[in-house]
Structure 1
């Protein structure tokens, strides 16, 4: 058994006699041999634990918990720093960078080991833990896989470890949509003029929550009745609708609050309102309106698209307004629209009207 223990400002190492290991220990500056205890000792410094473990690579090493946690923390911080730098260099959005760092950080803490020492079986063990124990959503699962592939492919250059890691099958869930009547109930339940302007813009323009919070004064084009969305999903700019009714609410809010840069500033100086705050506003409004269905900001975006489709707007225009890269994504709204379904007569109605029993 190989034991590595911290002793004050030094690290004590004991192992069965092995001339190769001894020769390597002697390359560490400040090494000592203690014959009475039959162990070697080296100074404790940055990188010393990692160097010792590299000497005994492939062997079972019992390491002092203090050393393990201290060395692991330093290693983890170094990896996450490298990941963040690489993500920035490649132009990933702040939201994606935050998500990847979250997933990679959780993964590193799960094993408490240098990720280079892990193999494909460890990666799959972790993903199964997310599925079976944490019961994560499809999107969380898929993003975790993306983050792990980025870590091993782009940072560690260990492609073989994740080459066989499958992605989850795409969920075939239909978007949740509320009726136009419920939209009216929601908007009428908002008394705060700032909150009302946010809700109206989200529904009337089909905005994502991350888009409405980042709107600036110059993004509103009153003359053309358009809203410019800067760096939406996929870092793409686009234009969407500026409703006349929403514009009235926006003017009322601007006259009362006079925002300078961000249309909806947050509590901190020079910052916009947070997505979490908007989600809380909607949840409180839903309860006040007496709507029992689960409604999120994205529900209003789905409802915008579905109501446009039911009103006869071409799918190609809806795709452009929503900022969808693929028309396949927009086509899902054809499955929740009642435009054509409502015209179909149930066979029961036909039978009863025909006098059948």
Structure 2
């Protein structure tokens, strides 16, 4: 539903809904414009209409353009301190929704968009949930929908997808087949510290503390700092890398040497190494992080330490690795092996 002021009248648009139609007919002075598919009321009815529908006022009573809506969301997220990646993702989600809905922001349009994502686009539930988060963030900030309206947005069940984990021999193979010193160092530090691809890209030379034997991961996901252990082998590799490339600010510079390496470049490096080592699993750069956590768990490291290494806010997030760890299965004899 959209309600806005236009000169000396109030206009209301909503797709057919028997409950909304019943409420609107209780307000006197209204006329239905069939050609525009809107209801029109005298301007003096604005406050009554807003009250009846529990509708939060659109600023200045004017429907903003798609670009104005996107900019409003972007500015809000910048003020709240969201990461550039989150801002980009949310703004893109909002943009796709507004194009689909022809700039309509009623709850029915939101639910139709989500149905399109699931049935036509065959998007994952996690993708749809991120779209919902983006749309809700905008609707709240722009004071377009009440919390009662937002509850009507149907959220798909969260998918339980197990992380893609590589064996220790597969990780070793990926590292061994990588001959380029820089590429090998990137893959090694990702696995050694359980880093996200963006965290590898954003490492600085000063983040390597060889005296304390730690790697400082600054402003990771959720704007949190944390530390990872610096292994002896990793330190030796970093020293070889430094002698050859001599980075000054970013640990892994881009080709122009004016900024950090891109995350897509890192993903391509991993894909090339996985292909060369003949690994057919659907693995990504992030699989190095999953493998790090799983291998620690299998070696007996307490899950609370693993939680800290990964930067998780709760052990509940870390517990997903218990579902892919072989440790709990190793003592179980498969009944097939017991058949004579």
For Structure 1 versus Structure 2, the TM-score category normalised by the shorter chain is 0.7 to 0.9
The structure 1 residue matched to 2:78, chosen from 79, 88, 92, is: 88
What residue is the counterpart of 1:71 in the other structure? none
**For residue 120 of structure 2, what is the aligned residue in structure 1?**
133
Q: Could you tell me whether the CA contact under 8 Å between 1:152 and 1:161 is conserved in 2?
A: no
Q: Distance in 2 between matches of 1:280 and 1:56?
A: 52
Task: Give the number of the structure whose alpha-carbon radius of gyration is greater.
Answer: 1
Tell me the equivalent position of 2:197: 209
Unaligned runs of 5+ in 1: 1-49, 63-73, 353-357
> What are the within-5 Å matches in structure 2 for residues 94-173 of structure 1?
94-113=84-103, 115=104, 118-159=105-146, 160-173=148-161
Q: 2: CA distance between counterparts of 1:53 and 1:265?
A: 59
Instruction: Note the C-alpha offset of 1:157.
Output: 3.4
CA contact (8 A) 2:126 2:159 kept: no
- Is the Cα–Cα contact under 8 Å of residues 209 and 297 in structure 1 kept in the other structure? yes
Distance of 1:54 and 1:318 partners within structure 2: 61
Alignment of 1:132-281 (within 5 A): 132-159=119-146, 160-281=148-269
Change beyond 3 A, Cα 1:289–1:107: same
Q: Distance in 1 between matches of 2:276 and 2:65?
A: 49
- 5+ residue gaps, structure 2, are 14-32, 37-63
Question: Deviation of residue 351 (structure 1)?
Answer: 4.2
Q: Counterpart of 2:215 in 1: which secondary structure?
A: strand
Quote the residue 2:305 is aligned against. Answer: 317
**TM-aligned CA distance change 1:56 to 1:168, over 3 Å:** closer
Matches of 1:275 and 1:282 in 2, distance apart? Answer: 11
Closer, same or farther in 2 for the Cα pair 1:348/1:294, shift >3 Å?
Answer: closer
Structure 2 distance, partners of 1:78, 1:52, is 21
1:327 aligns with 2:315: yes
Verify the 8 A CA contact 1:211 1:229 in the aligned structure 2: yes
Cα 1:54–1:202 shift into 2, 3 Å: farther
Distance in 1 of aligned mates of 2:209 and 2:80: 32
**Superposed displacement of residue 76, structure 1:** 1.4
TM-score for both structures, normalised by structure 2 = 0.80
Within the candidate set 271, 284, 294, 1:283 is matched to 271
Q: Does the C-alpha gap of structure 1 residues 76 and 325 become closer, same or farther in structure 2, counting only changes over 3 Å? A: same
Q: C-alpha distance in 2, partners of 1:147/1:297?
A: 26
Counterparts in 2 of 1:255 and 1:269: CA distance versus 1, 3 Å: closer
How many residues are aligned here?
292
Quick check: 1:130–1:141 contact (8 Å CA) kept in 2? yes
**What SS does the aligned partner of 2:330 have?**
helix
Tell me, in whole angstroms, the C-alpha distance in 2 between the residues paired with 1:53 and 1:349: 82
What's the offset of the Cα at 1:61?
A: 5.1
Alignment partner for residue 340 of structure 1, among 304, 328, 340?
328
**Contact between 2:188 and 2:234, CA under 8 Å: does it hold in 1?**
yes
| More RCO (CA 8 Å, sep 6+) | 2
What's the offset of the Cα at 1:172?
A: 1.6
Counterpart of 1:343 in 2: which secondary structure? coil
Task: Please say if residues 80 and 104 of structure 1, whose CA atoms lie closer than 8 Å, have aligned partners that are also in contact.
Answer: yes
TM-score by length of 1: 0.77
User: Do the aligned residues in 2 keep the contact of 1:230 with 1:238 (CA within 8 Å)?
Assistant: yes
Q: Does 1:350 align with 2:329?
A: no
